[in-house]
Structures are given as structure tokens and as C-alpha cells.
């Protein structure tokens, strides 16, 4: 185990579990170097099914250089419909080639527009929209550009197999993308939202300049921090920063002096981004809990007394070990060995909390870790009883992610499958051990 990069420590990832030196290099030199294909559990009827009963057109879309949200907006704008009628199971990165399902309510195949860098295949029709629960996992094929020491990949892989009890595994951290790769602030916004510091949340998003940003953007953020002159700031913020400008427009309209004004400004951004703020706060706390578990030397591939485990989803695609966090069990002293055998066979998974109003914390040392991190962040489950999209009941999440990993060294390329919600970069960071900005 060795200390993580300072940028990673900023979002709660304190360590690499592999002691081996990294390969170096960078990801996403070209979109085609990072390929993702979703594994879904969603059945569609034939495309000629009755549109009255099956109102949702199901599409399989391969995108190059498109963020999922941006593509959905482009598609809905071209169709002249609300973006809320476009649905998908998982949000994908812009700098990649991604293949995933979309559903669109109330349109026919002949209505579909041509969209650049988007290959759209009509799969059929469905009686409901696609939802997050329809996603089971993702297949990745990822190439590394300019690795300094590609032969180090073998030693890293050995370390990850040892950590996973025989199968390559890593702590199931939330990756840098969850918080903003170049400007990791979404958790800072979320922590203020949970404390109902609406003004602080807005300023964490509008202000908070980072060296990784263009000079003009940094200056605009510095200006709004110093002056809170919303109208003048609106003139300075680049048009590409649409969410910031939406907040500023709202503050100009309301005056931007009362807590309700700032909450209204936050509610100007799309609902999924409102939820992301709170989810990022939960994710940051989760990362901190995993780092503390590593620090104390507790295992990840098997439980200790006081842990809460979940069981495998029996409906997952063949070969994919998918945690089902609706099926939880607290591990008592007399059950540790039995549950450990289930974990070894991929039938159970040790979990940690994504804290919310209905979250039950662990017992024993795992519970001590969870409570210590939440106390340090001045958080409790009841804090997530918030209005609108900002509220969260919470859940639990597996602390370990295992994968059958394939590594090619000339050129350096990785192929693997992960369950939904797990980040490819938490595997690859162990191999590259680079600045997370180079992970894309």
C-alpha cells in the first residue's frame, strides 16, 4: 500500500493498494482508446409493436465524443420534445466511444434525426422508459498512450490479485470523474447542500477557481467570489459554462441575497445534476470510509464482525458478479466464517454506507470507522431529509470491485468487465499511478 496522488486524496482516495511501481502513461488520447459497452437487462418488443401499448422507442446508440446528457439534449432538441422524454440507464463520459440503450417516449423511427458521431440502431419498443436499474455492468477496452514502464503491469496485476483473494480487485472507490476530473468540487457543493447552506453551495460551484481551468474562467470565478455582483459576473462567465450562467441568471432575477434565492439558483440546473451534488457528498464520505478501512488494515474481500454484507444479484448476466444492495445482512461473530465463504465464492460482498435518511451503520470496528468519518464531516443520516431532488434515503455499496482482467503489453491495453456503478479508473489508477488528470 502506498499514498495516492494528492488530487486523489482531495476526493477521499488516500492509497493505492498496489506497492508496485506504475506503468505511467495517459488515457483517452483519442476517443477510440476508451471503449465502453453497456450490459443491460432490458427486453424490447419488435419495432412494429402497438405504439399505444409500447410508447417508448428503444435505441442502441454508439457515440464518439458525446457526453450522455449532451446527446440526450441534442436528440430531444432535434425531435422538438422535452429532454425528460429521453431516458437511459447509465451516464457515459464524453471522451470515449460508448454503446448504450436509450428510450424515447412518443416518437416513431422515421422521426429520428441524423446526429453527428452517433450511430443509432432502432432495437424495438417498450412499455416503459429505460431506468438505472436496467444497467447491469459495462465492458471496457482501454488503451494506454506512452506508458513509461509497461512491463510493470504484471507486478501490479499480481498485487491486485493478492488484494482480491485470487481475483484482480481494488477498493471500489468513486473515481475522480464523480467529483469533476479537472475541477473536483461537486462534493463540496453537496456537503453544503446537506447542511442547507444554500449560499455556500452556490458559491462552491460558481467560485472555487482551479489552476487546471483556462485563465478567463479562473478570473470570472475570482470576480464572483470577491464581488457577488451577479449581473457583472454573468458578463464575464464564458457561454460554454451553461450551468453557471443559469445560476447567475436566477440570482440576477431574485437579487441573490436570501437563502431561498440561492436554493432557487441551484434548482436551475438539471435535476440529475441536483442529485449529483448530494450523491457526490455521499461518495466522498464513502471514499473516506474505504481509506480509513485500508489505514486500519481491515480486509475488503471478506467481512469482520460488525460488517454489513449484501448478496449477489441472481438475475445478473452470466459471469458478472453484481451486488444486490437490497439484500443486506449484518455479520455477527458466529457468522463471520460462513459469510466469508460466501464472499470468496462471489455470492456476498462487504459493504459501506452511502449515507442517507434510511441508512443503518455497521457495528464493531466497521461501524466505528463509519461514525468517525461522518462525525469528521459533521454529517448524520437525518441531514439528508431535504426538499426536492436534494433528498436521499441512502444505500450501501460494495467496498471491493473484482474483475477478470486481461492485459496486453505491446501496446499496453486492458480489457475487463465491471458491475454498474464501478469506475474503470479505480482499476487503471493502480496500474498507471499517474496524475488523475491523465486518466481523463
pLDDT, tens only, 51-78: 999 999 999 999 998 988 889 999 999 9
Q: Say if residues 16 and 173 touch (Cβ distance below 8 Å).
A: no
| Mean per-residue pLDDT, 40-44 | 88
Provide the CATH topology of domain 186-269. Hypothetical Protein Yqey; Chain: A; domain1 (1.10.1510)
Pairwise CA distance, residues 156 & 358, whole Å: 38
Pairwise CA distance, residues 397 & 409, whole Å: 32
Q: DSSP string spanning 76-92?
A: HHHHTS-GGGEEESS--
Give me 302's grid cell.
Answer: 471478506
Residues in the chain: 440
> What are the residues facing 398 on neighbouring strands?
351
Pairwise CA distance, residues 147 & 92, whole Å: 25
pLDDT at position 440 over 80: no
The sign of the CA dihedral 263, 269, 270, 274 is: negative
- What band does 410 get if pLDDT is binned at 50, 70 and 90? confident
Percent of the chain with pLDDT over 70: 100
This prediction has a pTM of 0.89
Domain 280-398: give its CATH code.
3.30.2350.20
Active-site residue set: 93
Outline which parts of the chain fall under CATH 3.30.2350.20: 280-398
User: Residue 354: which H helix or E strand, with range?
Assistant: strand 348-354
Outline which parts of the chain fall under CATH 3.30.70.3160: 33-137
Beta-sheet pairing, 56-64 with 97-105: antiparallel
Outline which parts of the chain fall under CATH 1.10.1510.30: 186-269
Q: Encode pLDDT of 192-249 as tens digits.
A: 999 999 999 999 999 999 888 899 999 999 999 999 999 999 999 999 999 999 999 9
Provide the CATH topology of domain 33-137. Alpha-Beta Plaits (3.30.70)
Q: Encode pLDDT of 347-397 as tens digits.
A: 999 999 999 999 989 999 999 999 999 999 999 999 999 888 888 999 999
Q: How far is CA 418 from the centre of its chain?
A: 13
Amino acid at each position: 500500500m502506498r499514498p495516492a496522488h494528492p488530487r486523489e486524496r482531495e476526493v477521499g482516495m488516500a492509497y493505492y493498494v498496489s506497492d508496485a511501481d506504475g506503468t505511467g502513461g495517459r488515457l483517452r488520447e483519442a476517443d477510440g482508446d476508451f471503449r465502453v459497452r453497456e450490459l443491460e437487462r432490458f427486453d424490447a418488443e419488435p419495432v412494429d409493436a402497438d405504439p399505444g401499448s409500447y410508447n417508448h422507442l428503444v435505441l442502441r446508440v454508439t457515440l464518439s465524443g458525446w457526453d450522455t446528457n449532451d446527446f440526450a439534449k441534442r436528440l430531444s432538441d432535434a425531435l422538438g420534445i422535452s429532454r425528460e422524454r429521453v431516458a437511459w440507464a447509465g451516464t457515459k463520459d464524453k471522451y470515449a466511444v460508448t454503446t448504450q440503450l436509450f428510450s424515447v417516449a412518443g416518437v416513431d423511427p422515421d422521426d429520428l434525426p441524423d446526429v453527428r458521431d452517433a450511430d443509432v440502431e432502432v432495437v424495438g419498443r417498450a412499455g416503459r422508459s429505460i431506468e438505472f436499474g436496467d444497467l447491469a455492468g459495462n465492458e471496457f477496452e482501454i488503451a494506454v498512450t506512452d506508458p513509461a514502464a509497461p512491463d510493470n503491469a504484471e507486478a501490479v496485476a499480481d498485487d491486485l490479485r493478492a488484494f482480491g483473494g485470487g481475483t484482480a480487485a481494488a477498493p471500489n472507490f468513486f473515481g475522480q470523474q464523480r467529483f469533476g476530473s479537472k475541477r473536483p468540487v461537486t462534493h463540496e457543493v453537496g456537503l453544503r447542500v446537506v447542511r442547507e447552506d444554500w449560499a455556500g453551495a452556490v458559491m462552491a460551484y460558481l467560485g472555487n477557481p482551479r489552476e487546471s481551468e483556462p485563465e478567463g474562467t479562473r478570473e470570472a470565478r475570482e470576480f464572483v467570489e470577491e464581488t457577488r455582483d451577479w449581473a457583472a459576473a454573468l458578463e464575464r462567465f464564458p457561454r460554454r459554462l451553461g450551468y453557471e450562467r443559469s445560476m447567475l441568471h436566477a440570482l440576477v432575477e431574485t437579487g441573490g441575497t436570501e437563502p431561498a434565492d440561492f436554493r432557487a439558483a441551484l434548482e436551475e440546473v438539471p435535476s440529475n445534476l441536483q442529485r449529483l451534488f448530494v450523491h457526490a457528498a455521499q461518495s466522498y464520505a464513502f471514499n473516506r470510509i474505504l481509506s480509513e478501512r485500508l489505514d486500519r488494515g481491515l480486509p475488503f474481500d471478506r467481512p469482520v464482525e460488525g460488517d454489513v454484507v449484501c448478496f449477489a444479484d441472481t438475475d445478473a448476466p452470466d459471469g458478472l458478479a453484481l451486488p444486490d444492495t437490497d439484500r443486506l445482512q449484518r455479520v455477527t461473530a458466529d457468522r463471520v466464517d460462513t459469510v466469508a465463504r460466501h464472499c470468496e465464492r462471489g455470492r456476498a460482498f462487504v459493504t459501506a454506507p452511502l449515507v442517507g435518511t434510511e441508512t443503518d451503520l455497521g457495528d464493531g470496528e466497521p461501524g466505528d470507522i463509519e461514525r468517525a468519518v461522518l462525525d469528521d464531516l459533521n454529517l448524520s443520516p437525518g441531514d439528508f431529509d431535504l426538499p426536492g431532488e436534494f433528498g436521499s434515503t441512502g444505500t450501501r455499496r460494495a467496498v471491493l470491485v473484482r474483475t477478470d482482467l486481461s492485459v496486453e503489453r505491446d501496446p499496453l491495453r486492458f480489457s475487463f468487465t465491471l458491475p454498474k456503478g464501478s469506475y474503470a479508473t479505480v482499476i487503471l489508477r493502480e496500474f498507471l499511478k499517474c496524475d488523475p488528470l491523465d486518466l481523463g
